[in-house]
Amino acid sequence: MRRAPPTPPAPDAALAALRALADPAHHAGLPRYGIPNARAIGVRMADIQALAKSFGRHQPLAEALWDSEIYEARLLAAFVAEPGALPPATLERWLLDLDSWAICDTLCFHLLDRAPEAWDHVVAWAHRPEELVRRAAFALLAALALHDKSSPDARFVATFPLIQAAADDPRDLVKKGVSWALRSVGHRSPGLHAEALALAQTLQTSASAPARWIGRDTLRDLSRPAVLALATRKAAKKAPKRPA
């Protein structure tokens, strides 16, 4: 018998549960990781995830948590929101509210990559001017490379023009997001490993300093034998089994 989903708490109770887990030392250390702590309370990610598991998915609760403007509440919202249930206007507001790489990446890896519109978001956001929205495009592509089990290699190769166009962006969070996406695609299969290596070699010879950095960073990672071995194992798992 399937268990009934947990009954989510009221927003005030959820925030109280979050505050009960606050650790002043963790709060003080957030800026070392490039995370502003003016609106943080100091809850560790493992505790946020455990709390989210006890709450279950509940879109109204997620939106109330986000509206609190508390850093950890917005992380929690990414785990509590229902994939594909975020209204477009609300999603746009959340994008414009992004103020750290941590919230951006958590949204992409634990919510947005499960939405039916995920691939459309990659394309649309890759052209956006806002630093964290543009990073979201490539964090989402990295998440899809890891979590999308059904898309063919060609769908990922089709994003390479987006990667090349964004590789000239000198902003640190975009540059690192582009590299992350290209490396993640290269980890996915032997064919994509070769394609990503070829693009990285092209970027390494670019006149653009950010593109050269992305090329070097990707080549350093994808040249490791363990990465190709991992891609090969992933491809073997996806291959159809031969009849006995």
Domain positions in the chain? 10-84, 117-237
pLDDT band at 3 (very low <50, low <70, confident <90, very high): low
Q: What is the pLDDT of residue 49?
A: 97
Q: Please report, rounded to a whole number, the percentage of residues in the chain having pLDDT higher than 90.
A: 87
> Which of 192, 179, 178, 104 shows the shortest CA–CA distance to 148?
192
pLDDT band at 211 (very low <50, low <70, confident <90, very high): very high
Q: Please report, rounded to a whole number, the percentage of residues in the chain having pLDDT higher than 70.
A: 95
- C-alpha dihedral, 186 to 188 to 191 to 194, nearest 10°: 10
User: 91 and 107 in contact (C-beta within 8 Å)?
Assistant: no
Q: What is the pLDDT of residue 239?
A: 63
How large is the average pLDDT for residues 192-210? Answer: 97
How large is the average pLDDT for residues 113-132? Answer: 97
pLDDT in tens, 132-159: 999 999 999 999 999 999 999 999 999 9
| pLDDT exceeds 90 at position 59 | yes
User: 206 and 165 in contact (C-beta within 8 Å)?
Assistant: no
pLDDT in tens, 9-42: 999 999 999 999 999 999 999 999 999 999 999 9
How large is the average pLDDT for residues 112-140? Answer: 97
Q: Report CA 22 to chain centroid distance, whole Å.
A: 24
Q: The whole model's pTM is what?
A: 0.92
| pLDDT exceeds 80 at position 1 | no
| pLDDT exceeds 90 at position 4 | no
For tokens 């490039």, what's the residue?
Answer: 34
Distance CA 173, CA 99 (A): 11
| pLDDT exceeds 90 at position 232 | no
For residues 207-234, b (16+ Cβ closer than 10 Å) or e, as one string? eeebbebbbebbbebbeeeebbeebeeb
Phi, psi of 51 (to 5 degrees): -65, -45
| pLDDT exceeds 70 at position 242 | no
Is residue 118 helix, strand or coil?
Answer: helix
